[in-house]
Each structure stands twice: as C-alpha cells, then as structure tokens.
C-alpha cells in the first residue's frame, strides 16, 4: 500500500469561526476569513493496510487512542475510496497543541491530504477542504495558502474554503505565546456552550457574517486600517459572547490583557498593529513588515522569549509518497 506524508500549516482567522449550526456535519454558523501562517505546521503520514484490524494513531512519536475526529476523516476517506482498510496515522505537530494556535487546523488538513492520496483519491482543493472540515472546521481553510474564505454554505457539499487574492501588502503576524499549555476548555465545548446560552450569540452571528464580506472587500482594496479594524473587532466580539455565556468563561489571562494594552499603546503612537485571539490565551498581532521591529521592541521587555514573527504560509502539500 502507498504511504503518504503531507504538511499543512496553521491558519489564524481574521474573521472568526465560532459555533456550528450543524455539529454532525461540522457546518459553521458564519463564514470566516483566515491567513495561513508560514512557521506553524503539522506533518502527517498515512498508510492504509488490508491486514490491520483497526486504526492506529501516533502523535509526536507517542501512541494515542484514535481521536473521534480522526476516525471521522478516515471514515469519509474510506467511503470515497469504496473500501474498509484500517489506517496507520503518524502526526508530528510543529505548533503547541490545544493552546489556541490552530494546531487542529494544520493537523486535519494534513490528515485529509495524506489520507486521500494514500487511498488513491484525486480530490480537488475544494473537495479536500470539505474532507478536512469533517475533522476540524478551521482545517477547511488550511488546505490553502495565504488568505482563504470558508463559506458558510447551504450544506455539506458547499461549506468549503477557497483562496482569496493576496492584497498589495506585506502582511506579518507576531504571535505572543502567553501560554503553551493545553486549554482547560476545548474549542468544541466552548463553542457549543456559547451558542446555546449566550444572549449575545445571535447578534454576533449576524455581525460576523457581514464582517466576512466586508473583509473580502477590504483585502481587495489593500485597505490595511480597515483589515486590522475588522480583525480586532471580530475577535473581541467573539470573546464577548463567551463572557455572556452561562456559565461565563474567558480564555484571557493577565498577560493576555497586557498584550492587548501594549497593542493599543502602539496604535495610539501611530504604529499599525491589531490584536486577535482564538480559543486560547495567546495573542496574535496583525501588522505590516515595515512595523515589525517597532512592535517587537515594544513587547520584548515583557515578552521577549515568547514572540514569534511570521508571515503568509503555503498551501497543504505532499512531502513524500512511496509504496
């Protein structure tokens, strides 16, 4: 049987994905827009074996119980391939796992590409996006490099991502790793609780869907102040829905708030810097290449060893393929 190793990079949502309208099909409540990052990625190797009873899964060299979402992706691959062979899956994360740095996005995008190729499937990027979505919603976007929009869609077939043209801007993202520890509340759990109990959630869904289209227009116009404003607004509105949930919760830590404060000080001084967060305490700062040094200088006294500067990353790709 063919063994395939694929690499996919994490992405950070500029316009957020938060909540599902159909958990079984992993259909999002709203569309979202993301930037794939160059320096955080997952390598995954998949082999299907006719004589193996049951799937196996190894993460960073350590055997693990097979996660249900890995099974979901493998089950869909087997359905498309028309067979029932078990899989060996070996994954290596070059990004902290479950820390709000989108490790699931890169992990399931890499699994989708490696698994499909190992099964002999020839899928289009949109078909791979749909497949990756069965493991993690944000993985639908990590099939693509640079900027991507994940369309809310009407159902399973058209809730897929597609690439967006890069603006005439030297986009950079500074990642501030406040904590590399695993989250105490998973994204899946937090999303479900927020959607079910937050009185702010319906308003957020309406505003975020509109913001996705506004972001597409801002990117096409290379309007960085507008891009940054929409990015920060979407993040803050998402986290506000969690604060209003029952029980209320937040991923913010004291250091998280300090980073936000420093970003506001930078912007007040004329430096274009905009903060965003996903489901975790770590802050990402969207800026332009010409301003990276000023931002790093501002943050280094307090967060020097916790800073990573990165830029747009590539699409998911096959690294190795052999019998």
- Round to whole Å and give the CA distance between 227 and 287: 10
pLDDT at 50 (0 to 100): 87
Q: How far apart are CA 232 and CA 275, in angstroms?
A: 6
What is the reported pLDDT for 189? 93
User: Is 70 exceeded by the pLDDT of residue 105?
Assistant: yes
Beta-carbon contacts of residue 145 (< 8 Å; ≥ 6 apart): 9, 36, 163, 312, 313, 314, 315
Interval 106-122 mean pLDDT: 97
How far from 298 is each of 269, 293, 302, CA to CA, in Å?
Answer: 11, 9, 9
Please choose, from the candidates 129, 96, 109, the residue with its C-alpha nearest in 3D space to the C-alpha of residue 279: 96
CB 270 within 8 A of CB 196: no
Q: What is the mean pLDDT of the chain?
A: 95
β 274-277/161-164 pair status: unpaired
pLDDT for res 123: 98
pLDDT digit string, tens, across residues 205-252: 999 999 999 999 999 999 999 999 999 999 999 999 999 999 999 999
Confidence of residue 103 (pLDDT cuts 50, 70, 90): confident
Q: What are the structure tokens assigned to 267, written together?
A: 């912007």
% of the chain exceeding 90 in pLDDT:
89
**Please, are residues 131 and 30 in contact by the beta-carbon 8 Å criterion?**
no
Across the range 80-107, mean pLDDT stands at 84
The reported pLDDT for the residue numbered 101 is: 65
Q: Which of 70-74, 175-179, 269-273 has the lowest mean pLDDT?
A: 175-179
Strands 161-164 and 147-150: antiparallel
pLDDT digits (tens, 9 = 90+) for 185-198: 888 899 999 999 99
For the chain, where are the alpha helices, taking DSSP H only? 68-81, 103-118, 125-133, 139-142, 187-197, 201-220, 224-243, 254-268, 292-303
291 has a pLDDT exceeding 60: yes
Q: Residue 98: is its pLDDT beyond 60?
A: no
Report cis status (omega within 30 of 0) of the bond before 8.
Answer: no
Among residues 166, 133, 165, the alpha carbon closest in space to that of 150 is found at 133
What is each CA distance from 81 to 47, 77, 121, in whole angstroms? 14, 6, 7
Environment class of residue 313 by beta-carbon count within 10 Å: exposed (0-12), middle (13-18) or buried (19+)? buried
In which band, very low, low, confident or very high, does the pLDDT at 100 lie, cut at 50, 70 and 90?
Answer: low
Higher per-residue confidence, 50 vs 314: 314
Q: Do 220 and 167 contact (CB within 8 A), yes or no?
A: yes
Task: Give the model confidence (pLDDT) of 127-183 as tens digits.
Answer: 999 999 999 999 999 999 999 999 999 999 999 999 999 999 999 999 999 887 878
What does the alpha-carbon distance between residue 228 and residue 147 come to, in Å, rounded to a whole number? 14
Residue 97 has pLDDT above 60, yes or no: no
What pLDDT does 274 receive? 98
Q: What is the pLDDT of residue 19?
A: 93
């Amino acid at each position: 049987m063919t063994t395939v190793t694929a690499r996919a990079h994490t992405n950070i949502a500029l316009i957020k994905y938060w909540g599902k309208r159909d958990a079984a099909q992993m259909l999002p409540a709203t569309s979202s827009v993301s930037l794939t990052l160059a320096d955080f990625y997952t390598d995954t190797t998949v082999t299907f074996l006719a004589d193996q009873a049951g799937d196996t899964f190894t993460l960073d060299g350590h055997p693990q119980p097979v996660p249900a979402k890995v099974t979901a992706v493998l089950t869909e691959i087997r359905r498309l391939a028309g067979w029932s062979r078990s899989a060996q899956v070996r994954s290596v994360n070059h990004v902290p796992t479950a820390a709000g740095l989108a490790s699931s996005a890169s992990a399931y995008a890499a699994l989708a590409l490696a698994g499909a190729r190992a099964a002999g499937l020839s899928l289009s990027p949109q078909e791979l996006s749909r497949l990756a979505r069965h493991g993690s919603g944000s993985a639908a976007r990590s099939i693509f490099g640079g900027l991507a929009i994940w369309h809310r869609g009407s159902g399973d077939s058209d809730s897929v991502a597609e690439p967006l043209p890069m603006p005439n801007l030297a986009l950079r993202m500074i990642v501030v790793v406040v904590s590399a520890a695993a989250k105490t509340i998973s994204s899946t759990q937090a999303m479900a609780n927020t959607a079910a109990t937050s009185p702010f959630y319906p308003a957020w869904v309406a505003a975020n869907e509109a913001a996705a289209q506004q972001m597409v227009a801002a990117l096409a116009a290379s309007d960085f102040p507008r891009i940054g404003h929409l990015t920060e607004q979407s993040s803050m509105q998402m986290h506000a829905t969690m604060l209003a949930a029952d029980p209320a919760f937040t991923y913010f830590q004291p250091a998280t708030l300090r980073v936000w404060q420093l970003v506001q000080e930078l912007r007040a001084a004329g430096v274009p810097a905009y903060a965003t967060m996903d489901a975790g305490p770590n802050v990402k700062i969207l800026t332009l290449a010409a301003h990276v040094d000023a931002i790093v200088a501002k943050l280094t006294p307090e967060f020097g060893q916790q800073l990573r500067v990165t830029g747009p990353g590539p699409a998911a790709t096959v690294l190795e393929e052999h019998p």
